[in-house]
A and B are shown apart, each in its own frame.
Chain A
Amino acid sequence: MTSNAFRAAGVLRGVDVDRAFLDLVRTHQDAVYSIALRWTGSAADAEDIAQDVFVRAYRALRGYDAKRREDLLVRPWLATITLNLCRNRVRSSNRRPRSVPLDNSPDVADTSRPSPPDAAVTRSEFDDVAVALSRLPDPQRRAVLLHHAGGLTYAEVAVALQRPEGTVKADVHRGLHALRTLLPARELPA
């Protein structure tokens, strides 16, 4: 199936954007959420970011003419927006996923936001993959995220990160290699 929900549609009028957008969210919401979760480490943050990604995407799409929509590479485009929002959020609230012991004891309380009712649940399930990924150098972290959480092909990762495909492949492999030591309990892709 095409990674570009708009390619086949030839959308023109506002009403068509709305219908295609519904498909776009359904098709890509898991990938966007996965990237956000494996970056921020928090399910609540990931959901906020994912929602924000799609709202921005919708507004942008309504402003694009038909040609621009047709030429759009949706997966890399959404991935880029997601990464930007992840970075902005962490930067603005000065938080980053902290190392947690693998026995899942609650994280150090984040005092920059009031605790949501299920905060205890969120903290105790602080995402170990996100934590490990946060220890990687940025290029490897992003490459692994996009390829192994977002499901982007190497070519798409290259477009999203504006780096050559060969470099991106190397970053993914190096990133996975580093993760083997950080996440020994997990089975990692070959």
Chain B
Amino acid sequence: MTTPPYFVEAPASLLPAVLEAVGLADRYIVRDSAVGPVFVAYNRNGISACVLASTTDEASFVASFAARFGRSVRLDPAPPAAMVARIDRALTGHRTPLRFDLRPVSEFGRAVLAKTAEIPAGEVRPYGWIAAEIGRPRAVRAVGTALGRNPIPLLIPCHRVVRTDGRIGDYAFGTPAKRAVLSAEGVDPDELERLAARRIRYVGSNTTKVFCHPTCSAAKRITDRHRVAFAAASAAVESGFRPCRQCRPTVTEDAAA
């Protein structure tokens, strides 16, 4: 049909206003992190994305956000101060209550990310630990994939998940960035690699007979004299040690030891 005679074009401001009104428009801010400035996007459901500013310019970020999420995003001229403060705290590794918009993430992915968010700053856990904790001990590879798809790196700390053999592993922002963030949080990536090379997966105290992941805060308190190293949880259990209740080493048969 040809254009109707009384037809007028809607103003350009209408579409963005509608999207905002129904919660389909996100906003973003630029904040500093251990790996440089990051774009943090959010909407009324929570934080929706975190992207390294050095990997993209703002125009590309806006375009790729729209392509990925099907929503528009624009710079927030007046972000709520309390929220910005919480984001900054989280970016320096402090445990901070934040809401996340995980609508595009699968149920499995959400379980993975929720568990990842429990890992304290200064500690790391293996992919296998995540899998076991969410009741899917065989799904180690799927855990890795889900973490690779984490829409909100840094704020959901997938950098604190390492390979089952103890090596650092992959990261959306690249392995050097993962090492940098871990360092900033007080984890020595070189030490992790050294332990991995020596096949030390767990450490225990022969006074308490408790064994932990090496980065567990309890493990760090074990003095050299009392420290025992294990290559597998089964070895620890056989030696009469029990798993730490804080960091919960995986002891089920199915899991990678």
Contacts and interface: CB of A to CB of B under 8 A. Distances in A.
Interface of A: 14-15, 18-19, 21-22, 25-26, 29-34, 37-38, 43, 47, 50-51, 54-55, 58-59, 129, 144-145, 147-151, 153, 187-189
Contacts of B15: 25-26, 29
A21 B14 CA distance: 14
B17 interface: yes
A54 B18 contact: yes
Contacts of B22: 21, 54-55, 58-59
Contact of A29 (B3, B5, B10, B71): B10
Contacts of A55: 18, 21-22
Contacts of B36: none
A34 B21 contact: no
Contacts of A145: 6
A63 B216 CA distance: 47
B7 A31 contact: yes
Interface string B48-77: 000000000000000000000011000000
A109 B214 CA distance: 76
B4 A34 contact: yes
B7 A18 contact: no
Question: Chain A contact residues: over half helix, strand or loop, or mixed?
Answer: helix
Given A19-B70, A33-B10, A150 B103 contact: no
Given A15-B103, A18-B71, A34-B4, A50 B19 contact: no
Contacts, number: 84
A22 B15 CA distance: 9
B9 interface: yes
Contacts of A54: 18, 21-22
B14 A29 contact: yes
B71 to A, nearest CB: 7
Contact of B4 (A25, A50, A51, A148): A148
A144 B7 CA distance: 11
A25 B72 CA distance: 13
B70 to A, nearest CB: 5
Interface in B184-218: none
B14 A151 contact: no
Contacts of A29: 10, 14-15, 18
Interface string B65-96: 00000110000000000000000000000000
Contacts of B13: 47
Interface string B2-41: 0111111111011101110110100000000000000000
B5 A22 contact: no
B182 to A, nearest CB: 33
12 contacts: A15-B103, A21-B22, A25-B15, A47-B10, A47-B13, A47-B14, A51-B18, A148-B6, A148-B7, A149-B4, A151-B3, A187-B5
A178 B4 CA distance: 18
A151 B7 contact: yes
A116 B44 CA distance: 28
Contacts of A150: 4, 7
